[in-house]
Structures are given as C-alpha cells and as structure tokens.
C-alpha cells in the first residue's frame, strides 16, 4: 500500500515534533513543508529531509498529492489556515488552540463536518498509556461516583522578565496565554479521563511580569535569550491562573496553571477522587498511576500492557519497565488520527480516539469563559 502524503505548515518546535511522530508510524511520509518565507522553508526542509518547500502555504495546498496537513503555526493564523486546508479537501490536524475565538472555532467545526474531512486537534496528553488506563478504570466504575477533580499544569520557562516568546503577544498568541496554551491541555485531559464536561468556572488570572524585556532576535519556544539588547514591552496576558470548576453531574474541582513556577518543567497533574478510591497521575512521571484507598494500603500501578485494561492497550507499545513519555504520546495521537484517515471515516458517527474540532471548539469556549470570569470576578457558564 502506498503511504499517505502529508505536509506540515510551520517550522518551529511543534512542527519538528509532529514530523518525528509521523515518521515513527510508517504509514505516511512528509512530502512538503511551508514556512513564513521560502528561504526558511527550504533551509528547514533540507535539514529534515523533506523534498518540497514553500514560502506560501496556499501554493502547497494546490498540490493534489497531499492528503493530510499538519498546522503547526502561531495561534493567530490557525483559523485562516485550518479553513483553507478544509476547503482544499485535505484532512487536517491542527495545533491548539483550534482558533482564538469561539466564533472562529465554530465555523471550522461546521466546515470540517460539512466537507467530511478527518479533523483533529493536538491534545496529546489524553494519549499517554496511563491516562488511557485511568479513563478505562473510571468508565468501568472502579472509582465510583466522582466527587472531586483537581490538579494543574506548571512550567518555569517564562519565570524571568527576560524570558520572551511570541506567545506573550496577544495579537499573535491571543487574549489568553497560560490558560489557552497549557490550561486547555489540563481541561481536555480531565474531561477525557472522567467523561465529565466542564459546565462553569470561577477564575483568577495574574500577570506576574507586566513588563518584559523583548530581545532583538526572535526567541524560539523554551529557548532562553542570551542577555543581548532588549526592548521593554508591556504584557497583558496571564503568567498564572487559578480556576474553580463545576462539572456536569455535580463533581467539583480546581486547577492552577503557571509558566513562572521555578523547577516545574512540564508538570501536568491530575487527581480524581471517587466514592471508592482516588487516582493521581502526573506527566513528569508518566509510567506511574497512584491509587488511594480509605481502608487498605495505597498502590502504585506501573505502566505494563499485560496489566492494562483491554481498551487502553492500543496506547501501550513496550513491555513494563520500558517507559513511554511525551514523544510517545504524540506518536499515539498520530496513530489514532492516521488510522481514522486510512479507514476513510471523515464523517463517521463513531467516536475517534483523539481530540476533534468539536473538542477544540469546546476548549476555546472554556478559555473564553475563564477570561470573562476573571474580568467579572464571578461564576461564568461555559
């Protein structure tokens, strides 16, 4: 069988991660790359071994060979590019957020469903093996009725006022930063794991550094500047946030997100408390699932396909003790997405094993509700 032909728009950190994950599958090949300029695209394509390079993604979309497109661009162009990909009849996997407003994300969802293309958003934390295991345990009733859901997502890459990235600029990253960038991952993971939708929020957003030092040269995501000349710029988006949450079915919760927490590199954590037991997982120790009890010793379940629930095993690829981490979660995202493309079920009624534009639209709405809640200091329904 011929491999699927895929293309990537974007040349940064996420583009490299998508390319590596797709290549691990073996069912698709990256045949084209589009960047912000032809020179940038050609340089990156040469380094990544991609045969075609474009300075304009629209020219690339005219290529009839390309069946799948990965949108790995900054947030402000997600709507424009995703819409163009859909109208070109290509299957689309977009980085999050799906768009910077719910009006835009609603249009993309409608168009994708009308055109029958396979559509996905890269919320890859739901793809960790032990997250799938926890979801299966909750679905089967092992934890009983869920009372409380809490946790957070903490990073430190924007701790200093000398740290800078395009995500700090609302005209590029959108009105929200920490919530849209990493809080959305927490919300997606928790909603997937528990099967409970977030219904209302009460939020408190904080900008720790209202003024930052922007370097003359562009700084890539997670890259530190070297102390070169910098301009003072005002920052309006949040560095951290705390959010109270009400879920459907009566469960309550809370989460904190931060990009200014020293020592926390990429710590997405969640704890679910049910009537029978509790469970805790964090991304920095992804092979462990802690299980808590009232009347007996607590347990730690280690990732092992021989011990996993049958409906979670598709996300386990190595024997117990062979830890699978962040790149593997991204590979699982690609595995489920490309399996959907190969099955030809763009408009199928069956539920995909990955986040779709419907999920992406829901998370844009949650982000907007959190922004409104913080501004009003009141509960806001999603």
Judge if pTM exceeds 0.75. Answer: yes
Higher pLDDT, 226 or 160: 160
What average pLDDT does the segment 250-276 reach?
98
Average of per-residue pLDDT values in the chain: 95
Percent of the chain with pLDDT over 90: 92
pLDDT tens profile 14-45: 999 999 999 999 999 999 999 999 999 999 99
Residue 69: the pLDDT is 98
DSSP per-residue string spanning 334-366: HHHHHHHHHHT-TT-SSPPSS--HHHHHHHHHH
Could you tell me the strand order of the sheet in which 119-121 lies?
Answer: 52-54, 28-34, 4-9, 68-71, 91-94, 119-121
Query: Looking at residue 253, what is its pLDDT?
Result: 98
Tell me the per-residue pLDDT of 145-159, one tens digit each, with 9 for 90 and over.
999 999 999 999 999
Name all domains of the chain by residue range, CATH numbers in brackets. Answer: 4-124+335-353 (3.40.50.720), 127-323+363-381 (3.30.360.10)
Contacts within 8 Å (CB) and 24+ apart, 251-256: 251/146, 251/147, 251/148, 251/149, 251/194, 251/196, 252/147, 252/148, 252/149, 253/148, 253/149, 253/150, 253/190, 254/150, 255/150, 255/151, 255/152, 255/153, 255/183, 255/186, 255/187, 255/190, 256/152, 256/154
pLDDT of residue 223: 64
Confidence of residue 286 (pLDDT cuts 50, 70, 90): very high
pLDDT tens for each residue of 341-377: 999 876 555 678 999 999 999 999 999 999 999 999 9
Flag whether pLDDT at 212 surpasses 90. Answer: yes
Specify the pLDDT at position 349.
56
pLDDT computed for residue 220 by the predictor: 63
pLDDT category of residue 2 using cuts at 50, 70 and 90 = confident
């Amino acid at each position: 069988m011929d491999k699927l032909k895929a293309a990537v728009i974007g040349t940064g950190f996420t583009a490299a991660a998508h390319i590596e994950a797709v290549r691990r599958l073996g069912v698709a090949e990256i045949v084209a790359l589009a960047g912000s300029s032809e020179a940038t695209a050609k340089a990156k394509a040469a380094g990544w071994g991609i045969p075609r390079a474009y300075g304009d993604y629209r020219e690339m979309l005219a290529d009839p060979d390309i069946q799948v497109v990965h949108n790995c661009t900054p947030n402000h162009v997600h709507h424009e590019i995703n819409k163009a990909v859909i109208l070109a009849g290509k299957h689309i996997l977009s980085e999050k957020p799906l768009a910077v407003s719910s009006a835009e994300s609603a249009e993309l969802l409608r168009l994708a469903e009308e055109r029958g293309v396979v559509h996905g958003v890269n919320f890859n934390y739901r793809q960790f093996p032990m997250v799938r295991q926890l979801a299966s345990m909750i679905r089967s009733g092992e934890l009983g009725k869920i009372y409380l859901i809490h946790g957070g997502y903490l990073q430190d890459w924007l701790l200093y006022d000398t740290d800078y990235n395009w995500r700090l600029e609302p005209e590029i990253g959108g009105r929200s930063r920490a919530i849209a960038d990493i809080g959305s991952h927490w919300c997606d993971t928790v909603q997937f794991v528990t099967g409970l939708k977030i219904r209302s929020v009460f939020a408190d957003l904080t900008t720790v550094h209202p003024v930052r030092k922007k370097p003359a040269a562009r700084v890539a995501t997670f890259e530190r500047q070297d102390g070169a000349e910098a301009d003072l710029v005002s920052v309006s988006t949040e560095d951290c946030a705390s959010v109270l949450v009400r879920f459907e079915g009566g469960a309550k919760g809370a989460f904190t997100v931060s990009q200014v927490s020293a020592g926390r590199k990429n710590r997405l954590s969640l704890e679910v408390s049910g009537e029978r037991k509790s469970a805790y997982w964090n991304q920095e120790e992804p092979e462990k699932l802690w299980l808590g009890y009232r009347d007996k010793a607590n347990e730690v379940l280690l990732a092992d396909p021989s011990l996993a629930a049958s409906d979670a095993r598709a996300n386990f690829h190595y024997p117990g003790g062979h830890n699978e981490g962040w790149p593997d979660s991204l590979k699982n995202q690609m595995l489920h997405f490309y399996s959907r493309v190969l099955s030809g079920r763009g408009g199928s009624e069956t539920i995909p094993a990955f986040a779709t534009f419907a999920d992406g639209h829901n998370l844009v709405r949650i982000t907007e509700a959190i922004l409104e809640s913080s501004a009003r200091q009141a509960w806001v329904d999603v």
